[in-house]
Structure 1
Amino acid sequence: MSDEDDLEDFEPDQDDLEKDEDEKETEEGEDYRKEGEDFTEDWMPNALTEDLMKEGLSLLCKTGNGLAHAYVKLEVKDRDLTDISLLRSYIHLRYVDVSENHLTDLSPLNYLTHLLWLKADGNRLRSAQLDELPYLQIASFAYNQITDTEGISHPRLGSLDLKGNRIRMVTGLDPQKLNSLHTLELRGNQLDSTLGINLPKLKNLFLAQNMLKKVEGLENLSNLTTLHLRDNQIETLSGFSGEMKSLQYLNLRGNMVTDLGELAKLRDLPKLRALVLLENPCTDESDYRQEALVQMAHLERLDKDFYEEEERAEADEIRQRLKEDQEHQAEPDHEEDLDQS
């Protein structure tokens, strides 16, 4: 799982760090895909051997009963592996990294019931499906050929990374079975809808670099604090709800929001403090920065810059004038009603 910026304090240079990270991840993804272009169905079989196991094993720990010891960490990255059946015998493994191989089948991992951490990035997987692993907390399947989100039901899973795959629709993520999931990474897939992400415990959701045109079905994510929607095709800001009461950071950079009036639809997000709208058509408007603060009085940072006190004071004045204008417009209607009565 890639490290995301700490968004709690909204550091001024956060967006620069974020950009660097995006570029780094893009390069990483291109490397995986370049390797993937060389994959063929006739790839020479290459099974995990005892010798490779000995090289990759580390971290000697007590076993469950405390009466024996076993190595619990395995790293066999970039070994051209096509078969990891040998892992069925290593039931004490807790940390497994089989990234950058040519694996199409992870079913031997079903025997590792003590598994806590799994990294299987850059393989040839078409599915992330495994039997329920009771202790699995972190799982990464980035840059594979996965087409769906079915068969993921680990009760203690907290972080799931599926970026850089071929997922078109989110299905099968059961909130009852994934009641510990707080971070979901779906960047760089082929999603055209945000439906199916009904995970109330979710705190961090990364949906950048997909084909989304709007936000829908996220209304019940009351614990969501961070939402990345960068580099999609979003035109409207409908779909945000006051029920998303924990959302603090929203990245909409590189979308297609044209009308500044759309910002009013974010007004009901009570904790929204940082908003990124760079590279949207609406940012070309001269009063773009001011209009955002008029619509969202509690906003602390827009794009890379924090709001100054002078900007806040000016926005307060505009907001007050608008309120007075609305009241004046309502008065004649009220008098007319009295005359009729």
Structure 2
Amino acid sequence: MSDEEDLEDFEPDQDDLDREDEDKETEEWDEDRKEEEDLSEEWMPTPLTEDMMKEGLSLLCKTGNGLAHAYVKLEVKERELTDIHLLRNYIHLRYVDISENHLTDVSALNHLTHLLWLKADGNRLRSAQLNELPYLQIASFAYNQITDTEGITHPRLSILNLKGNHIRSVTGLDPEKLISLHTLELRGNQLETTIGINLPMLKNLFLAQNFLKRVEGLDNLKNLTTLHLRDNHIDSLTGFSKELKALQYLNLRGNMISNLQELTKIQNLPKLRALVLLDNPCTDETDYRQEALVHIPQLERLDKEFFEEEDRAEANEIRQRMREEQEQDAEGDMGPDQP
């Protein structure tokens, strides 16, 4: 795998946004199994050794002034590691995979000031906090035991994956420090609110499988193009601000929206092109697709099907008829002219 491919490893694929539905049961099973293992076993101390380092190092590159060379890529996943303090001596590392171990402390990473790419999934971390790493671009801490989002301040961080942890609210994500963050992955946590996600440069936000009842506090996400909210408890679309003027894809599958009139609250999103509402009570209504298009004329796709030209023409006719009826009602309310 090339360095460029490595750096894009956590980049969400827009074409696969719906495909994750089929992966959901497998992911939940993996997470349940890991939690059971964490509760049932006490791990033997297993420190990272020089022999493991020799086996896991690769990618020889120039360092410093270009006169010296060092290996900059390390893969030591699935080694049952409990201690990585040896990494303090390998300051030239740029790509590090320490996933699927038993780590509770990764403070040794603070010494890797050239780090570009970090994968620490499937450990026992309770925090993703590290010193500011000036070159870190991609960091994944999926499926740990992290409870908050404090202490993440890397200025070049573009993709942050915190999927499958125990985060209840988002705090400490400073937009003045996270100036490059465009993708935030928070699926499968315990979020009860979207307040605290104040990151104007964010483009992709994944909040599926949490405990959200509504959307709030996202007014500053003016560059957000993708918002994924599947499998929450959302019953109202109040809180979707017109300031989300770049939003193109909105996934609300598996929520509790029962009234299609709620769609009037997102009709002011000018670039909304794809909407997913499967597994909401409102999808049982007669002419569900047609009514959705009437409320949101800019839609190109609802669920997994694109609208045809005849669908759009019929929705336009209904919309025109509704306007005429409203005008007639308004004239009737004015009453006859007085002499």
Change (3 A) 1:179 1:3: closer
Partner residue of 1:10?
none
Partner residue of 2:13?
5
* 1:29 corresponds to which of 31, 34, 57: 31
Matched residue type, 1:136? L
Matched residue type, 2:238? S
CA distance in 1, matches of 2:182, 2:33: 28
Identity %: 72
User: How much has 1:241 moved relative to structure 2?
Assistant: 1.4
Write out aligned runs for 1:22-61 (5 A). Answer: 22-40=24-42, 43-61=43-61
CA distance in 2, matches of 1:256, 1:230: 11
Contact 1:5/1:18 (<8 A) preserved: no
What TM-score, normalized to structure 2?
0.94
Write out aligned runs for 1:151-190 (5 A). Answer: 151-190=151-190
CA distance in 2, matches of 1:290, 1:194: 30
SS in 1 for 2:286: coil
Partner residue of 1:302?
302
Write out aligned runs for 1:185-224 (5 A). Answer: 185-224=185-224
CA distance in 2, matches of 1:5, 1:27: 23
CA distance in 2, matches of 1:191, 1:312: 37
1 or 2 for the larger relative contact order (CA 8 Å, sep ≥6)? 1
Matched residue type, 1:6? Q
Q: Deviations over 1:304-330 (max 9, x none)?
A: 111111111111110000000111111
User: How much has 1:4 moved relative to structure 2?
Assistant: 3.0
CA distance in 2, matches of 1:301, 1:39: 48
Partner residue of 2:3?
none
Matched residue type, 1:29? E
User: How much has 1:218 moved relative to structure 2?
Assistant: 0.8
Write out aligned runs for 1:86-97 (5 A). Answer: 86-97=86-97
After TM superposition, the runs of 4+ consecutive aligned structure 1 residues lying more than 6 A away are: none
Q: Aligned pairs, how many?
A: 331
Q: Deviations over 1:114-146 (max 9, x none)?
A: 000000001010000000000000000000000
SS in 2 for 1:297: coil
Matched residue type, 2:83? D
SS in 1 for 2:139: strand
* 1:18 corresponds to which of 17, 20, 29: 20
Matched residue type, 1:244? L
SS in 2 for 1:339: coil
User: How much has 1:30 moved relative to structure 2?
Assistant: 4.0
What TM-score, normalized to structure 1?
0.93
Partner residue of 1:125?
125
SS in 1 for 2:160: strand
Matched residue type, 1:145? Q
Contact 2:10/2:138 (<8 A) preserved: no
For structure 1, list consecutive stretches of 5 or more residues without a partner in the other structure: 8-12
CA distance in 2, matches of 1:157, 1:35: 32
For structure 2, list consecutive stretches of 5 or more residues without a partner in the other structure: 1-8
Contact 1:201/1:224 (<8 A) preserved: yes
CA distance in 2, matches of 1:169, 1:39: 29
Matched residue type, 1:26? E
CA distance in 2, matches of 1:251, 1:51: 47
Contact 1:226/1:248 (<8 A) preserved: yes
CA distance in 2, matches of 1:318, 1:166: 46
